Structure 1
Amino acid sequence: MGERCCAVLRVLVLQAAWALAGGQVRYSVPEEAKAGTVVGRLAQDLGLEAGEAEARRLRLVAQGRRASVEVSGASGALLVSSRLDREELCGKSAPCALRLEVLLERPLRVFHVQLEVTDINDNAPIFPAVRKNLSIAELATQPGSRFPLEGASDADIGANAQLSYTLSPSEHFSLDLQKSNERNLIPELVLTKSLDRETIPVHRLVLTATDGGRPSLTGTMELVISVLDANDNAPQFNQSVYKVQLPESADVGTLVARVNATDADEGINSEVTYAVTSFIPPGGRDVISVNSKTGEIHLTGALDFEEVNAIDFRIEARDQGTPPLSSHCSVELEVLDVNDNAPEVWVTSLSVPVPEDASVGTVVALLSVSDRDSGANGRVRCWVWPAAPFGLEATFAGSYSLVLREALDRERVSEYEVEVRAEDGGAPALGARRGLRVPVSDVNDNAPLFAQAVYTVLARENNAAGAELARLWARDPDEAGNGRVSYSVWEGAAGGVGAAAGSGWRAASSYVSVDAESGRVWALQPLDYEELQVLQFEVRAVDAGEPPLCGNATVQLFVLDENDNAPALLPPAGSAPEAGAVVVAKIRAVDADSGYNAWLRYELWEPRAKGPFRVGLYSGEVSTARPLDEADGARHTLLIVVRDHGEPARSATATLSVSLLEANEAALAAGSSSASSGSRSALGVDVGGAAASAATNVWLVVAICAVSSLFLLALVLYGASRWAPRAAVLSGPGPTTLVCASEVGSWSYSQRHSRSLCVADGAAKSDLMVFSPNFPPPPPGAASKDTQPEPSALLHTVSDTALLLPLTPIQPFCPSRCVGSVGIHKDTQAVMFIVPQAPRTTLFPFVSSDFVTFWIIFEIFLLYFPSAEDLMHDGN
């Protein structure tokens, strides 16, 4: 109850205060104040307590226009709510006051608030137009003439609207201000100096208005003063001389230049026309024209630097005034060179063909090179393609020599297609080419060359005379006569193992002939292997050049054996009893053929029934097959056939008569036989019981002792050969080639050595053929265990050692796999194997040094036991 009384009391006091103050609150705010600016503490000024303005809903009463202020409900302050523009609210009126009504509820009360908006200098002076155009005639307007101007206006009031004027500096015009009343000033433009349109056709001035605000604001207006013309000036070119450069490749219609003559006058007085005069050279008028109105100069024809490199002419400019005035200028047109001409190459001299032996530096051709362009476009670079074997040498400007830089070879290149290329220094560069054909003439600088240095020819014996043995061909890369080859035989030597004693050597030309044109080798006579085994000769190929050149090839003609000789019988030989058997006789036969054709076997044809005699299959020994008795008869006739292994086989027949005698008769017959000097054909044998048995026992004991001793000696030798250091046996000087056996089993060779041997009764004969293997020479220093022996050592070994004992023939094999040497014993037809003494090194895949030692022992055993050999052969 007390609080209500206090509130009523306050209201009463406020009403009294309002009544005393007339009931109105005044505020002032500058225009353009920001939103939120506090204008005044309205609630406090109305006498309201804190919070009472919000409780009683203090607010402004909305009026017709949008209010720019508002009352804050929390604080009761009067705030600016939007932009206040004095000029918009009040215009030029002063002062500018706004009347507001404030409403307060509980109890309802209305208050009047007056808000004055004060002016700020926010408006600059404004002229009626941004630009003002004036026209003044030159020479007619005198200095001191005045031209009134419109002033500016300012929306502000008071000092902010007080204006002053200024004019931009000018020597021809000034500004004068005239007052129309106390508030307004009228600016006037005053001419201070005569005008010259040609000097300054248009004067541009700026009139500035400034207000009295702080800070002051200004407004401007541009004054454009045009000076009217009088025809008092002739046309003038901007250049007295025009220098123009134009490439000669410019197209017709190209703009050469644009001349410009100006007339300081205007209007018809400034209209200028152009014309061309005075061409140097006169031909320039055919390629130059000028546009009379624009002054553009164009090409009307093509330029050619090589003909005219400069054109000079004059241009006249005339105006259209009265009287017309004119002026002139010069145009100097320089034609620039363009690389439009390719180099040209001429051959002034050509010396062909060039001999292939021409020396380096020989001049082949003389050339001339030129280019019509100038400068870099006319500088020419020349070269030859391909770069070898010719080159260019410059003799003097524009002249070159084509010279030989490398040696020629017609056989490699017989003709050259040479191209001389020239290129200038333009961009892009232009080039030219001149082709030259340079043939190379032949010189006889190549000797005929055979495809092989050595030809190996195999020919069967008994060939027909005139048969073609081989065909040789030598290549000569030269041409014509220099390359035409003829062939001839050089005298060589011929000989053979089987040649008759005393036959010696014969010229190769007696056996063969070579066709001079084709190189075919013909046989002049039938060949006989027993007379000739190897014929070695040279074939010479000679060309027809000058001087002639020649080449040689060696021909090794091997004659292949055919089975054309039957076995020939030799006188038989007897032998003493041996190991229980009696050797009656030995049938000996030889065959002039070789190899299988000379490998003989002996067969007993008669009697075919089982008799007391037998024949060794390969030894030819006739021996008793069993002890003889009286039932066997006193005489026996044996028919023995000796047959070779040829195809077809040839044979010979021997008849042996055997007479059986008593012991005393046998001794007498033996003594008589040994005293005679002729050969015997029959042998008597005593077949008495006791004497024959005793003789047999004695020979058996002797044979057993001898065989035991030899066997023990063989074991000692075998051990020594196994554990003692082995010496090299085979080596030889000079290259040799081991040639494989022919298809009929004959042995060929590349280097033959013959030695005379004496292994049976009769004179010594050349009956061993030794083949030296073709091994490279051993490296220097100590020889390894596998080093091959010298052929000389081999020959000495064959001639002087016991290795010449006849060996039982075995199946032959191709010597292309041999590493040793092979021989054939002509008497017994035994094949000899001479094996290098190397550890476990084999002559053939199945023949080793150990095997040879064993084979020698076995052969010795067979010599002492012929009956055992016969048993083996019969078993086979």
Structure 2
Amino acid sequence: MEGCTKSVLWRYVMVLLFFSAILDTASSVTHYSIPEEMEEGSVVANLASDLGLDVTTLNNRQMRLDIRSNKKYLNVNKETGELYILEKMDREYLCSSKTTNCFIKMEVTMENPVRMFNIEIEIVDINDNAPQFWRDTIRLDISESTAAGERFSLSNAVDPDIGSNSIKTYYLSENEHFNIEVQTGRDGSKFADLILKKPLDREERASYNLILTAVDGGVPARSGTASIIVRVLDTNDNAPQFDKDSYTINLTENAPIGSLVVKLNASDKDEGSNSDLLYSYSLYTSEKTQQTFSLNPNNGEIRVKELINYEDFRIYDMEIIATDKGANSLTGKCKVKILITDMNDNHPEISIRSVTSPVKEDVAVNTVIAVVSVSDKDSGENGQVDIHISADLPFALKESSDNYYELLVSEPLDREKLPEYDITITVTDRGNPPLSDNETITLELLDVNDNVPQFPQTFYTIPVMENNAPGASLSSITAVDPDLHENQYLVYFIIEKEIANTSMSMLFSINPENGNLYALKTFDYEIEKDFLFHIEARDSGVPPLSSNVTVHIIIMDQNDNTPLIVSPWRAQGSEVKETIPRSTDKGTLIAKVIAIDSDSVHNSRITYQFLQNTDATLFSLDQYNGEIRTMRMFSYRDSRDQRLVVIAKDNGEPALSATVTIKLSTVETALKTYTEVPLEYDIFSDLNLYLVIGLGSVSFLLLITILVTIVLKCQKAKPSKAAPPSRNSVISERNSTIADSTLVSNDAYWYSLFLAETRKGKLVVRQPVPKGARYIVSSIPRSTGLTETSDSAASTLQVRNSVSIIRERFA
């Protein structure tokens, strides 16, 4: 039983060891060490054997070698499983010379099943590099007065190999005056100091040629040499001295390149070469200073080497060394401080931020449009700046903080006056001469509805000829709005107004888009003479704005009414018959033709002419008042019947006319007196009826005219003028009565008074009066008596009881 337990435990331990070996194989790194510079094809090791791989399965399992971060210097022979050199390896190239260990890490990958192995190749250094000095010749000048024990630094040698293969020590060729002491640096490098063991005597020996040998610790050892040339100089026991220990120089910036800054002077009491001096910058002089200023090593002149900018450097400090040319040169030092004086060579700078554009034209005053910052790299007054904008702009600058300004709206803006502003901001420094800069801000204004539409005229008077065609265009009444877009789109309306229960929109219409005005009906001057109404223009802004204009339509008269002959009266198409005595005197008024025209002004002015005259030497016709008078007395040769045709023509274009035919019959005896003839009144005749209607109408118009005239001229009432005396009148006796009648005439040339006769009435014709008078004439029944004038050639009948005539004249 005990033996069985031990057997089981042993097997368990073996299994654990087996798995541990497998895990160790998968996770461990295979390490190889090879020397550098192995020849190509050299076998490093049998990798298959070391890894426990079957050589015959390497190809099938696609064995692959990957090198990390390096060129592929090694490869695996898949036939033999050997790891061999593919290309020579230089440790100094692959790894830093300071690195102690140099490794190449690789991975071996197997497929089917996948297995990976880490390989590490250590490149072992070999002594393949000899020590080498930076300079082959080391020159030293040692004065003969140098004391023993003085040390002189020598250039050290370098060896890229490491460890024991690096530099181990230095050797100096045999001599009695010099020795070396090998020093070890902190990094393990070796360098040698030359030590003067015994004072030199230039007269005994002027120079020494020493060989310094550097030897590494490799096997076999490698070495490198450098020549040390020691020149023994004459004793130089006087150091150079400058005139002053320090110099302070003021230099203006932008000084021309090559201009002299200062000429330094140092002196040496020695003679010969020991007194010849060289000037140089010390190590304490910055590279920037040496780049800016040049130092002449022979004469100590310091000149400007490149452009000097005060804003970059304001003070330059330098230390100048004067070194004599003795064998053992001595030096003297001085300090130079160059203070740069500022010039006004920098223009002020403007930076515009937070620009608000566009803005509405109704933007509030003191609104910030932009923030402006200014700067100037100069100093003092050269760096102090003044900022301003044009005084005629509605903007202002307000300082908000140091060198920051706010551009504000200082006055109300109006896009219609100026839709865009170019605001030029100018900044000027206080230097001499001053420098300036400017920036321009373009500010665009957005429109708001702040303008009422405007008509070019406040009152429109539009003449319209009567008898116009309905729908005819009368005029175009347009307004303008300086706003933009919908704020300037105008709509036109007629403001409603009723005239005699007729809406104005029934008489006229207006195009709402372009303001064209049209008449909707035909007008008659004799009925409608003018119209007065308003037109409104309204824009489309929010809220809308509007304005209106007064329009006065004046109806112009046309010559569309034919003159109407009202005296002498006759039936339609009949002749007028008159009887006159043959004893009628020359110049006697035989008849008067009166015509009226309902047109106005020149269209109603009537002239009279004979269209037919039996005897042109017997009768004359006044072309203005229509009076027919005798030009001579009748003779026995003249015919008893005279036929006169008179045409009454108006002054229109074309002229219209009417005619009347008067048949005159002459008698030998005088007429009986009116006292003997009873008057008969036919009040129911057609003529009387017409005259009564006309009288009533004219009387009503007369009353209205009088009332209006009194109201208008109550302050300046003019006295009425007496009627001019009548000339001779001819009264033809008819066996009838005379009816009352009234006639109103506006003609500027004449007025007429007549009593319209009936078949048995009497006709009284009055002489015309001056132009411009207006008369209202009424007739009343005459008295029955007539007187006969016996002194004339033919008796003239006059009305004994005169007809009362009422007359008014208006200025």
Give TM-score scaled by structure 2 length: 0.51
1:375 and 2:369 are equivalent in the alignment: no
Does the 8 A contact of 1:252 with 1:300 survive in 2? yes
Distance 1:236 1:759 in 2: 146
User: Which residue number in structure 2 is paired with residue 319 of structure 1?
Assistant: 324
User: Which residue number in structure 1 is paired with residue 445 of structure 2?
Assistant: 440
**Structure 1 counterpart of 2:561, one-letter code:** N
Does the 8 A contact of 1:280 with 1:312 survive in 2? yes
1:828 to 711, 721, 745: 745
User: Which residue number in structure 2 is paired with residue 679 of structure 1?
Assistant: 687
How far did residue 243 of structure 1 move? 1.7
Distance change (3 Å), C-alpha of 1:245 and 1:656? same
1:355 to 349, 360, 370: 360
How far did residue 456 of structure 1 move? 2.8
Per the alignment, in what secondary structure is the counterpart of residue 354 of structure 2?
Answer: strand
Number of equivalences:
501
How far did residue 590 of structure 1 move? 3.1
1:551 to 547, 550, 558: 547
How far did residue 236 of structure 1 move? 1.7
Distance 1:553 1:666 in 2: 67
Distance 2:252 2:549 in 1: 76
Distance 1:571 1:245 in 2: 126
Does the 8 A contact of 2:356 with 2:369 survive in 1? yes
1:533 and 2:453 are equivalent in the alignment: no
Distance change (3 Å), C-alpha of 1:569 and 1:315? same
User: Which residue number in structure 2 is paired with residue 237 of structure 1?
Assistant: 242
Does the 8 A contact of 1:600 with 1:829 survive in 2? no
Does the 8 A contact of 2:293 with 2:304 survive in 1? yes
How far did residue 370 of structure 1 move? 1.7
Distance 1:854 1:524 in 2: 39
1:590 and 2:596 are equivalent in the alignment: yes
Per the alignment, in what secondary structure is the counterpart of residue 564 of structure 1?
Answer: coil
Distance change (3 Å), C-alpha of 1:255 and 1:600? closer
What do residues 289-311 of structure 1 show as CA deviations (whole Å, max 9, x unaligned)?
43332222334444443333323
1:649 and 2:655 are equivalent in the alignment: yes
Does the 8 A contact of 1:807 with 1:831 survive in 2? no
More helix by share: 1
What do residues 17-43 of structure 1 show as CA deviations (whole Å, max 9, x unaligned)?
xxxxxxxxxxxxxxxxxxxxxxxxxxx
Per the alignment, in what secondary structure is the counterpart of residue 602 of structure 2?
Answer: helix
How far did residue 348 of structure 1 move? 0.9
How far did residue 646 of structure 1 move? 2.5
**Structure 1 counterpart of 2:700, one-letter code:** A
Distance change (3 Å), C-alpha of 1:761 and 1:309? closer
What do residues 158-216 of structure 1 show as CA deviations (whole Å, max 9, x unaligned)?
xxxxxxxxxxxxxxxxxxxxxxxxxxxxxxxxxxxxxxxxxxxxxxxxxxxxxxxxxxx
Distance 2:703 2:621 in 1: 25
Give ranges in structure 2 of 5+ residues lacking alignment. 1-234, 571-577, 728-741, 751-767, 783-788, 790-795, 798-811
How far did residue 437 of structure 1 move? 0.7
User: Which residue number in structure 2 is paired with residue 562 of structure 1?
Assistant: 558
Per the alignment, in what secondary structure is the counterpart of residue 533 of structure 2?
Answer: strand
User: Which residue number in structure 2 is paired with residue 524 of structure 1?
Assistant: 520
How far did residue 668 of structure 1 move? 9.3
User: Which residue number in structure 2 is paired with residue 792 of structure 1?
Assistant: 712
Distance 2:405 2:697 in 1: 93
2:699 to 745, 763, 786: 763
1:426 and 2:424 are equivalent in the alignment: no
Does the 8 A contact of 2:371 with 2:407 survive in 1? yes
CA RMSD of superposed structures (Å): 5.5
Aligned counterparts, 1:339-354, within 5 A: 339-354=344-359
User: Which residue number in structure 1 is paired with residue 134 of structure 2?
Assistant: none
What do residues 635-689 of structure 1 show as CA deviations (whole Å, max 9, x unaligned)?
999876544333333234567899999979988985222665653699xxxxxxx
Distance 2:615 2:623 in 1: 17
User: Which residue number in structure 2 is paired with residue 389 of structure 1?
Assistant: 394
Aligned counterparts, 1:436-515, within 5 A: 436-491=441-496, 507-515=503-511
What do residues 418-439 of structure 1 show as CA deviations (whole Å, max 9, x unaligned)?
1111222333333222111112
Does the 8 A contact of 1:341 with 1:373 survive in 2? yes
**Structure 2 counterpart of 1:452, one-letter code:** Q
Aligned counterparts, 1:848-863, within 5 A: none
Distance change (3 Å), C-alpha of 1:790 and 1:358? farther
Per the alignment, in what secondary structure is the counterpart of residue 671 of structure 1?
Answer: coil
Does the 8 A contact of 2:251 with 2:338 survive in 1? yes
2:265 to 253, 260, 265: 260
What do residues 441-487 of structure 1 show as CA deviations (whole Å, max 9, x unaligned)?
22333322222222333332222223222233323222222233333
Aligned counterparts, 1:577-656, within 5 A: 589-601=595-607, 608=614, 641-653=647-659
Per the alignment, in what secondary structure is the counterpart of residue 347 of structure 1?
Answer: strand
Distance change (3 Å), C-alpha of 1:311 and 1:407? same
Distance 2:474 2:771 in 1: 45
How far did residue 852 of structure 1 move? 8.8
How far did residue 565 of structure 1 move? 0.8
Instruction: Give the fraction of aligned pairs with identical amino acids, expressed as a percent.
Output: 31
Bigger-Rg structure (1/2): 1
Distance 2:604 2:310 in 1: 105
Per the alignment, in what secondary structure is the counterpart of residue 487 of structure 2?
Answer: helix
**Structure 2 counterpart of 1:830, one-letter code:** D
Does the 8 A contact of 1:454 with 1:553 survive in 2? yes
User: Which residue number in structure 2 is paired with residue 779 of structure 1?
Assistant: none
Per the alignment, in what secondary structure is the counterpart of residue 469 of structure 1?
Answer: strand
Distance 1:854 1:348 in 2: 84
Per the alignment, in what secondary structure is the counterpart of residue 289 of structure 2?
Answer: helix
Aligned counterparts, 1:119-268, within 5 A: 233-268=238-273
Does the 8 A contact of 1:576 with 1:583 survive in 2? no
How far did residue 530 of structure 1 move? 0.9
Distance 2:336 2:367 in 1: 57
Per the alignment, in what secondary structure is the counterpart of residue 438 of structure 2?
Answer: strand
User: Which residue number in structure 2 is paired with residue 49 of structure 1?
Assistant: none
Distance change (3 Å), C-alpha of 1:651 and 1:806? farther
**Structure 2 counterpart of 1:793, one-letter code:** K
Does the 8 A contact of 2:452 with 2:547 survive in 1? yes
**Structure 2 counterpart of 1:679, one-letter code:** L
How far did residue 354 of structure 1 move? 3.1
Give ranges in structure 1 of 5+ residues lacking alignment. 1-229, 495-503, 683-757, 773-788, 809-824, 834-850, 869-876
How far did residue 534 of structure 1 move? 2.4
Does the 8 A contact of 1:347 with 1:367 survive in 2? yes
Distance change (3 Å), C-alpha of 1:240 and 1:631? closer
How far did residue 386 of structure 1 move? 5.9
Does the 8 A contact of 2:294 with 2:304 survive in 1? yes
Distance 2:705 2:297 in 1: 123
Distance 2:292 2:538 in 1: 78
How far did residue 631 of structure 1 move? 13
What do residues 597-656 of structure 1 show as CA deviations (whole Å, max 9, x unaligned)?
223356676884689999886656899999999999999998765443333332345678
How far did residue 509 of structure 1 move? 3.6
Distance 1:807 1:767 in 2: 27
2:275 to 249, 253, 270: 270
1:398 and 2:399 are equivalent in the alignment: no
**Structure 2 counterpart of 1:792, one-letter code:** L
Distance 1:680 1:383 in 2: 97
Does the 8 A contact of 1:657 with 1:681 survive in 2? no
Does the 8 A contact of 1:279 with 1:285 survive in 2? no
Does the 8 A contact of 2:455 with 2:480 survive in 1? yes
How far did residue 335 of structure 1 move? 3.3
Does the 8 A contact of 1:278 with 1:313 survive in 2? no
Per the alignment, in what secondary structure is the counterpart of residue 551 of structure 1?
Answer: strand
Distance 2:607 2:696 in 1: 19
